[in-house]
Amino acid sequence: MGKADSAADARPYHHGDLRHVLIEAALALVAEEQDWTFSLREVARRAGVSHNAPYNHFGGKQDLLVAVAAAGFESLRDRMRGAISAIDAADAALRACGRAYIKFAMQNPALYRLMFGPALAKTKGGRPPAARFAGADAKTVLAEIILRGARSGVFAVSPDDRPGQEMAVFFSWSAIHGVTMLLLDDFMEADFALDDAIKGFERTLLTGLTPR
């Protein structure tokens, strides 16, 4: 971290990693303005490059936003993983994971909206946008928890029942995403505390999974 002018330090006029810098700048703008109506030129300005430089790394503004959403999903996935890393019991892990998920969304509302908004929509060309792959990656964390619960007998689904697990993953994510969205949008009475919501959600979430 000194001021040694090693080979690695010398930025060769067009610095190595603009793509990454642009995504970071866009992430910051989403957080600051709480929407994604900023211009591509503004992103370039923040990154300290000409307004055409982004076109060397992205097809256009939409493409950059998809990359931002993908970065969001990766960050979300890391939070989920971090939340469960020290937890053994599958039901406790699912609860912790859900809590981390909701927390992430509440801390980055606009980013979360972008992630599930236009960034996931099918591209006109046909092939699915990158954000969807990153989203599927986040989904994998849930799948692992479900599988663990199936193996340990904590959840009412067999370790061999792949479709049943897929179902469980699907409905777990549905419940978490649904609660998150409604919390984000303030669609509840004022006396409806966040903590109650999470507790109730956990009950709903586990009801269909735990054996009676």
Find all residues with CB under 8 Å of 164, minimum gap 6, and list them. 157, 158
Binding test (CB under 7 A) with DNA, winner from 62, 99, 170, 171: 62
Residue 185: CB minimum distance to a second copy, A: 5
Q: Name the residue nearer to DNA (CB basis): 33 or 161.
A: 33
Residue (of 169, 164, 150) closest to 98 by Cα position: 169
Pick out residues in 154-193 that bind a second copy (CB under 8 A).
163, 166-167, 170-171, 173-179, 181-182, 185-189, 191-192
Nearer to DNA by Cβ, of 32 and 161: the residue is 32
Provide the greatest CA pair distance for the chain. Answer: 66
Using CB under 7 A as the binding rule, whether residue 26 contacts DNA is answered as: no
Binding residue (CB under 8 A) for a second copy from 120, 130, 156, 198 = 120
Q: Residue 84: CA atoms inside 13 Å, Cβ hemisphere, count?
A: 26
- Nearest approach, Cβ of residue 103 and a second copy (Å): 17
- At 185 the three-state DSSP class reads coil
Among residues 135, 141, 156, 198, the one that binds a second copy under rule CB under 8 A: 135
Task: Choose, by CB under 7 A, the member of 42, 78, 144, 202 that binds DNA.
Answer: 42
The string of DSSP letters for 82-142 reads HHHTT--SHHHHHHHHHHHHHHHHHHSHHHHHHHTTGGGSPPSSSSPPHHHHHHHHHHHHH
Of 59, 57, 70, 62, the residue nearest 111 (C-alpha): 70
Contact 27, 71 (CB under 8 A): yes
Minimum separation from the CB atom of position 170 to a second copy (A)? 6
Q: Which residues bind a second copy (CB under 8 A)?
A: 34-37, 62, 109-110, 113, 116-118, 120-122, 128, 132, 135-136, 139, 163, 166-167, 170-171, 173-179, 181-182, 185-189, 191-192, 196-197, 200-201, 203-204, 207-208, 212
Q: Which residues bind DNA (CB under 7 A)?
A: 14-15, 18, 39-42, 49-53, 55-57, 60-62
